[in-house]
Structure 1
Amino acid sequence: MFKAPFSFEGRIRRIEYLLSAIIGGVVTGIAFWLGVGTAVFGAASNSGGGFGIGVLIGIAALAGGIWFTIAQDVKRLHDVDKSGWFLLLALIPIVNFILGLYMLFADGTVGPNRYGADPKNRMPYQAQPTSVNVTVNMNGEKQETIQTQTDKF
């Protein structure tokens, strides 16, 4: 879990996506408000240096949090076999809410897809032979018919 959290490569499961949103939001918020607090107290003390450091901490916290969030969103889209460019739909009001619900509740692609291996280690369903019928035609030649199971259960 949280393997290469700032990378845009690979796939993540729904639970990792949810946890990354919660943890990322809390950590980014704390770091940002620490930066704001440092800036406010630095400006109030007239030392001058504290304000600049506080602003830099706040900007760095927001930049890191945004990068982390976008990386996790892209990996979640990869899990449902969609390009990371679909994340641009989040810029459209109301569509962003629907996209967020989709990314949170849609099951990922079973088995590997073009973005990597299945994080749940599932393999796609393949029909397995259930019976073999052997018949002999009029010339004495053997013919085999293989019947396959067509449903999952």
Structure 2
Amino acid sequence: MNYYLSILKNYATFTGRARRSEFWYGILFNFLALIVANVLDNVLGTKIMTDFGFELPYGYVYIGYVLLTFIPFLAVQVRRLHDVGKSGWFYLIVLIPLIGFIWLLVLDCTEGTPGPNQYGENPKNVG
């Protein structure tokens, strides 16, 4: 939970490095929060109805949460890429269908470069 809160506190910090644990625990708690937002949409009846007469599987609470957390989670992804020695622009690799997502997933699971790199100190050694 502390990692999730630190991601939200560093709202738009695209500099530095992020450990694997910060990234993956943040993703885990974000996923749980998305489930809670979806349940709230169901309980409150705030699902979105389209002009075609069917209900979308998400509602206003869900969309609001996604919009509020998009930048912090983009920032932690960039910091995670910095930890493995890649530029934040490398995130655009996901635009390559299927292979780009798999490549990014492998990078997210890879241990960061030991010691300092061009993006900062190793976060394992700090604090």
TM-score (norm 1): 0.60
Can you list the C-alpha shifts for 1:56-115, whole angstroms capped at 9, x where unaligned?
Answer: x332211123323212211100101211111111122222122112211x2212222222
Paired with 1:29 and 1:65, the residues of 2 have a C-alpha distance of 14
Query: In 2, are the aligned partners of 1:80 and 1:108 still within 8 Å (CA)?
Result: yes
Once the two structures are TM-superposed, the CA of residue 33 in structure 1 deviates from its matched residue by 4.0
Structure 1 gap ranges (5+) = 44-53, 123-153
Paired with 1:87 and 1:36, the residues of 2 have a C-alpha distance of 33
Q: Is 2:24 the counterpart of 1:18? A: yes
Seq. identity, %: 34
Residue in 2 that maps onto 1:114? 118
Once the two structures are TM-superposed, the CA of residue 12 in structure 1 deviates from its matched residue by 1.1
Q: Relative contact order (C-alpha < 8 Å, sep 6+): which is higher?
A: 2
Paired with 1:82 and 1:102, the residues of 2 have a C-alpha distance of 9
Paired with 1:74 and 1:114, the residues of 2 have a C-alpha distance of 14
Aligned length: 109
Can you list the C-alpha shifts for 1:30-76, whole angstroms capped at 9, x where unaligned?
Answer: 22442354314xx8xxxxxxxxxx62x33221112332321221110
TM-score (norm 2): 0.70
In terms of fraction of residues, the more helix-rich structure is 2
